[in-house]
Amino acid sequence: MIRSAIKGIGYHVPSQVVTNQDLTELMDTSDEWIKTRSGIEERHWVQGDEAASDLAFPAAKKAIENAGINPEEIDLVVVATISSDYFFPGVSSQLQEMLGLRNVGCFDLRAACSGFVYALSTADQFIQSGMYKTALVIGAEAQSKFINKTTEGRDISVLFGDGAGAVILQPSQDEAGILSTHLHSEGKDMKNLWMEGPGSSGLNQINKLTIEQAQRYEPFMNGREVFKNAVVRFPEVIQEALDKNNLSMDDVALIIPHQANLRIIQSVAKRMGVNMDKFYANIQRYGNTTAASIPIALCEAVEEGKIKAGDTIILAAFGAGYTWASAAIRW
Ligand code: UT7
């Protein structure tokens, strides 16, 4: 069986750093509230015309360089994002042009915070089947463009940050590679974390009514409900990855969870009876970057020497939909 392996990684965040203190000038909030509830100290936000593709492009270039490949070799691009530059087409088509790629298959995937693991799993199937040899998989978000940066939107806006992370997947030549991926979703409580418009439900017409209901064009989150679900689904999907590969926690060098809230990560570690050292966290510096959080964290963990050749790692995500997913990888 062909196994796919991550041959290159790269990430990019916008230059503007927004501290919790900076936010107190925009809304009624405090460094203490944000840090205690979420662990976040600062995040990066795009400025002016900067959009998701402007973050995805440098991240992709770094991953291509890191893999030591020629962009001509890429034959599939999958971008996980819910904050594409335009309603359509997707960021992936823009990247085809920006990176000067051949006219290869490019598509965006909308699975919110689980998007990167979904995209990785999708590209993995193409490599495993032998259909493609080199896939570029990206998580890229400029969520700060959609959030309400006043006191009215403070429950959401203090949590989100912008950024992008990318990987190059190719057939593995040795034992390294993606061991398994696990995707799930449950739509019954989708309104606990959603953005209603623009959409085909009726909020597609710009008229007086929709302008008055502008808040429906902002994300909404029932934080407590989402939290309660997250702390159950993360352990489930991590355990699923362990079971599938006959692994115990002792076999795993590092778990890279989606960075939604430091308290969620701590709670998952506690529920699984695992030391927090086994979970990577960088939410303190980036906030929740939705589909970009896992590839950014993966890059930093590798840079910090926390993942070495031969290590087994698990990526785990939970987010809007709800969707949740995991991937077991031998590095
Ligand atoms: O990545 C996708 C998945 N997302 C998640 O997994 C996020 C899950 N949820 C969470 O992380 C947490 O629920 C939050 C961080 C969103 C909120 O933490 P919480 O401990 O559940 O706080 P809360 O929602 O219960 O809010 C408590 C209070 C409220 O005031 P009252 O009604 O108790 O007087 C809010 O109005 O905090 C108030 N509040 C704020 N105060 C200062 C809400 N946002 C802020 C703010 N600054 N930014």
Question: Cα 199 from chain centroid?
Answer: 22
Query: Is 70 a catalytic site residue?
Result: no
User: Is there a single domain that holds both residue 122 and residue 33?
Assistant: yes
Mean pLDDT score, 291-301 = 98
- Interval 80-127: pLDDT, tens: 999 999 999 999 999 999 999 999 999 999 999 999 999 999 999 999
Strand order in the sheet with 323-330: 177-185, 323-330, 312-319, 254-257
C-alpha 45/C-alpha 141 separation (Å) is 10
Q: What is the domain range of residue 302?
A: 178-330
In the chain, pLDDT over 70 holds for what percent of residues? 95
Query: What are the DSSP calls for 187-229, one per residue?
Result: -TTGGGEE---SSTTSTTS-SHHHHHTGGGGS-EE-HHHHHHH
Last residue of a domain, one of 113, 143, 173: 173
* Distance from chain centroid for Cα 54: 16
φ, ψ dihedrals at 148, nearest 5°: -90, 110
Residue identifier of the C-alpha nearest atom 3 of ligand 1: 319
What would the two tokens of residue 92 be?
């992936």
Residue 162 shares a structural domain with residue 183: no
Q: What is the mean pLDDT of the chain?
A: 96
Are 131 and 184 contained in the same domain? no
**Assigned token pair, 145:** 């463009």
Pick from 173, 198, 222: which residue ends a domain?
173
Q: Do 152 and 237 belong together in one domain? A: no
Structural domain ending residue among the three candidates 141, 173, 205: 173
**Chain Cα centroid distance, residue 69:** 24
- Give the sign of the dihedral formed by CA 18, CA 158, CA 57, CA 172: positive
Q: Catalytic: 261?
A: no
pTM score above 0.75:
yes
Q: How far is the C-alpha of 29 from the C-alpha of 154, rounded, in Å?
A: 7
Q: Contact, 192 vs 226, CB < 8 A?
A: yes
For residue 145, how far is its CA from the centre of ligand 1 (angstroms)? Answer: 20
Claim to verify: residue 160 and residue 234 sit in the same structural domain: no
Catalytic residue among 66, 113, 182, 282: 113
Specify the pLDDT at position 210.
Answer: 67
Sign of CA dihedral 86, 90, 92, 98: negative
Please indicate, yes or no, whether residues 16 and 161 belong to a single structural domain of this protein: yes
Say whether pLDDT at 29 is over 90: yes
Q: Are residues 182 and 212 in the same domain?
A: yes
Provide residues with CB under 6 Å of ligand 1: 29, 33, 37-38, 113, 154-155, 158, 223-224, 226-227, 230, 260-261, 264, 288, 319
160, 300: one domain: no
Supply the residue whose CA is at minimum distance from atom 45 of ligand 1. Answer: 155
pLDDT tens-digit readout, 161-210: 999 999 999 999 999 999 999 999 999 999 999 998 888 886 666 666 66
Same domain as 55, residue 27: yes
Is the pLDDT at 215 greater than 90, yes or no?
A: no
Q: What are phi and psi of 49, to 5 degrees?
A: -85, -5
My answer on whether 148 and 97 are in the same domain is: yes
Total domains, the chain? 2
Residue 106: active-site member: no
Residue 260's pLDDT is: 98
| Claim to verify: residue 254 and residue 157 sit in the same structural domain | no
Q: Which residues pair with 328 in a beta bridge?
A: 180, 314
| Contact partners, residue 189, CB within 8 Å, separation at least 6 | 225, 229, 322
Residues 144 and 271 in one domain: no
Q: Give me the CATH number covering residue 293.
A: 3.40.47.10
Residue 218's pLDDT band (cuts 50, 70, 90): confident
In angstroms, the CA 329 to CA 142 distance is 28
pLDDT band at residue 52 under the 50/70/90 scheme? very high
Mean pLDDT of 210-231: 86
Ligand 1, atom 39, lies closest to the CA of 155
